[in-house]
């Protein structure tokens, strides 16, 4: 019974995610879902992207168990934020995201960034309707993250390794990390960033701009 119930839940969510994706595509909105453990730097990356990205109107959906702290940071960085508090759930789902989407002006939105709840387990099972899903990892978490959370890496289209400035103070093996990522998801686009030094943020912004351009010209 448990397996059947979970299958029903995921099936309903996938259908809602497809509706979200179609709605966003109809409005030429590029959507990116960011997964990552608490403290990996998801919000900091979004802040830097918002501040540096030129020519695109960005809106952000913030998923948290409680508080609007991250949404407040996003708005201070210059983008409109839509807060989702899950009340204890460890992930966002497609219906939650749809309720947030329905509150925003899609006609004037170019890029929708969705910061999922800090977790690399549950969010991997729930599609949200974004065209791309990124996994964010950071140097202090260790170079074995892909081995510990393989589903998250197998289901992503992009990987960000954050907090590069801490490499001199850590035994983190970057070659091992990227080799593990390559084994799990060889087609994922890869970025290495530091929100302290700004390394890699320009390249990430360029990629987002290119993806939006391809979406609108299709």
Q: Where in the chain are the domains?
A: 2-217
Q: How confident is the model at residue 11 (pLDDT cuts 50, 70, 90)?
A: confident
pLDDT at position 151 is 97
Q: What's the pLDDT tens digit per position in 31-44? A: 999 999 999 999 99
Q: Beta-strand (E) ranges in the chain?
A: 30-36, 58-64, 80-85, 111-115, 132-138, 158-162, 189-192
pLDDT at position 2 is 36
pLDDT at position 218 is 77
Q: Indicate if the pLDDT at residue 4 is higher than 50.
A: no
Q: What's the pLDDT tens digit per position in 135-187? A: 999 999 999 999 999 999 999 999 999 999 999 999 999 999 999 999 999 99
* Residue 202 φ/ψ, nearest 5 degrees: -60, -45
Q: What's the pLDDT tens digit per position in 192-202? A: 999 999 999 99
Q: Indicate if the pLDDT at residue 190 is higher than 90.
A: yes
Say which residue the tokens 């890869």 belong to. Answer: 190
pLDDT at position 9 is 66
Q: What is the rounded average pLDDT of the residues 87-111?
A: 96
Count of CA atoms in the C-beta half-sphere (13 A) of 79 = 33
pLDDT at position 121 is 95
Q: How confident is the model at residue 1 (pLDDT cuts 50, 70, 90)?
A: very low
- As a 3-state breakdown, the chain gives helix, strand, coil percent values, each rounded to 5, of 50, 20, 30
Choose the CATH number for 2-217 among 3.40.190.10, 3.30.43.10, 3.40.30.10, 3.40.50.300. Answer: 3.40.50.300
pTM recorded for the entire structure? 0.94
- C-alpha distances (whole Å) from 114 to each of 129, 148, 201 are 10, 23, 17
Q: What's the pLDDT tens digit per position in 43-87? A: 999 999 999 999 999 999 999 999 999 999 999 999 999 999 998
């Amino acid at each position: 019974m448990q397996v059947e119930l979970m299958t029903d839940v995921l099936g309903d969510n996938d259908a809602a995610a497809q509706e979200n994706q179609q709605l966003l595509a109809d409005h030429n909105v590029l959507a990116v879902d960011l997964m990552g453990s608490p403290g990996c730097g998801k919000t900091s990356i979004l802040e830097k992207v918002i501040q540096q990205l030129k020519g695109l109107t960005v809106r952000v959906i913030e998923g948290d168990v409680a508080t609007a702290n991250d949404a407040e940071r996003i708005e201070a960085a210059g983008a409109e934020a839509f807060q989702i508090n899950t009340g204890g759930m460890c992930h966002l789902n497609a219906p939650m995201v749809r309720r947030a989407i329905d509150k925003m002006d899609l006609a004037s939105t170019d890029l929708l960034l969705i910061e999922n709840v800090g977790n690399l387990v549950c969010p991997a099972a729930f599609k949200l309707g974004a065209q791309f899903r990124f996994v964010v990892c950071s140097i202090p978490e260790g170079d074995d993250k892909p081995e510990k959370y393989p589903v998250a890496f197998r289901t992503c289209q992009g990987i960000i390794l954050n907090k590069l400035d801490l490499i001199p103070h850590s035994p983190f093996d970057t070659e091992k990390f990227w080799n593990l990522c390559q084994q799990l998801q060889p087609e994922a686009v890869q970025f290495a960033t530091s929100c302290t030094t700004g390394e890699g943020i320009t390249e990430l912004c360029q990629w987002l701009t290119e993806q939006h351009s391809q979406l609108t010209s299709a």
